[in-house]
């Protein structure tokens, strides 16, 4: 994101500016959270188990006396890392397939898009659950699953943008001069699809973080006692009626993070490519 784009984002779109601030705050939390945490995330303290929020324990303590606020801070790094890696794994092959299919056309385009249509027929969360069930629980497998169900999204988006870009006059002129397909794709078509890729990646990050937390909530994520937001919510679900604070901090962190990326994505859409319809 260039400086000019950032200035337009902050000046023209209030929602985008709010999303940008939230995302920066969550990134800083992910990077510096372990330094800010007042307690070790996995150290039990049975003498102070199930305590309400106080000046000593800002978010209260869980069944093992672990500080919930500290666990949420540590969990930010896990959720953000899984989200970013999952999006990257989906972006690279998805964008490559979209570029090749859109530029080549013909039978190759048909084959690729029919496979993509089949994958899009299934909800992404179901594909992720199925993959993790086959591969086994764990953060690495969750990253792979998130990346896999993100591939169809990028393929369809980049293919559509490539179909438009390859009909531009200057692209046809370069092709007429005998330029090879790889050079045309990288130097002339790819710059035209970067904007929609940035927008959809921001929105995919929100989806990836939410999916990772959902899978961890179902017990398919990192093994205990890893301080992950979904796992913390799992530990709190049986005490929602009597000890709601146990779910408040991880739930709020998840909601705020997903909201921030969605607002940022909407703002970037308006700034980079107002014609995009999400």
The burial class, CB within 10 Å (0-12 / 13-18 / 19+), for 52 is exposed
Beta bridge partners of 61: 67
Of the candidates 92, 90, 76, 93, the one whose C-alpha atom is nearest the C-alpha of residue 142 is 90
Q: Which residues contact 129 (CB under 8 A, 6 or more apart)?
A: 145, 215, 218, 220
How far is it, in rounded angstroms, from Cα 105 to Cα 111?
10
**Count of domains for the chain:** 1
Residues with Cβ within 8 Å of residue 22, at least 6 apart in sequence: 256, 257, 259, 260, 263, 264
Which domain CATH number covers 130?
A: 1.10.3720.10
Query: Domain range for residue 156?
Result: 3-272
Residue 85 lies in a domain: yes
**278 falls within a domain:** no
Q: What is the pLDDT along the chain (278 residues), one digit of tens a residue?
A: 567 777 888 787 888 899 999 999 999 999 999 999 999 999 899 998 999 999 999 999 998 999 999 999 999 999 999 999 999 999 999 999 999 999 988 899 999 999 999 988 888 788 888 888 888 888 999 999 999 989 999 999 999 989 888 888 878 888 888 778 888 888 888 888 888 899 999 999 999 999 999 999 988 888 888 899 999 999 888 888 888 889 999 999 999 999 999 999 988 888 886 555 44
- Does 144 reside within a domain? yes
Closest CA to 30 of 266, 256, 276, 271: 256
Distance CA 28, CA 260 (A): 14
- The whole-angstrom separation of Cα 60 and Cα 66 is 8
pTM of the model: 0.89
């Amino acid at each position: 994101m260039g400086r000019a784009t950032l200035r337009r984002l902050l000046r023209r779109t209030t929602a985008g500016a709010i999303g940008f601030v939230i995302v920066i705050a969550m990134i800083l939390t992910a990077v510096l959270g372990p330094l800010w945490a007042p307690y070790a995330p996995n150290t039990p303290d049975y003498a102070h188990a199930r305590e309400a929020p106080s000046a000593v324990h800002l978010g209260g303590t869980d069944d093992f006396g672990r500080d919930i606020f500290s666990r949420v801070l540590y969990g930010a790094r896990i959720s953000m890392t899984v989200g970013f890696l999952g999006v990257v794994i989906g972006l690279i092959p998805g964008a490559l397939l979209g570029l090749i299919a859109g530029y080549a056309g013909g039978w190759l385009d048909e084959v690729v898009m029919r496979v993509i249509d089949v994958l899009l027929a299934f909800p992404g969360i179901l594909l992720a659950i199925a993959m993790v069930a086959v591969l086994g629980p764990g953060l690495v497998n969750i990253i792979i699953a998130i990346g896999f169900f993100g591939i169809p999204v990028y393929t369809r988006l980049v293919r559509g943008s490539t179909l438009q870009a390859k009909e531009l006059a200057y692209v046809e002129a370069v092709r007429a001069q005998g330029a090879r397909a790889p050079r045309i794709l990288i130097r002339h078509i790819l710059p035209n699809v970067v904007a929609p890729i940035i927008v959809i990646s921001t929105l995919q990050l929100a989806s990836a973080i939410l999916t990772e937390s959902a899978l961890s909530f179902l017990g398919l994520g990192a093994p205990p006692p890893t301080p992950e937001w979904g796992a913390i919510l799992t530990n709190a679900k049986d005490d929602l009626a009597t000890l709601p604070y146990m779910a408040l901090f991880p739930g709020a962190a998840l909601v705020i993070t997903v909201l921030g990326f969605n607002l940022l994505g909407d703002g970037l859409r308006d700034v980079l490519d107002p014609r995009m319809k999400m």
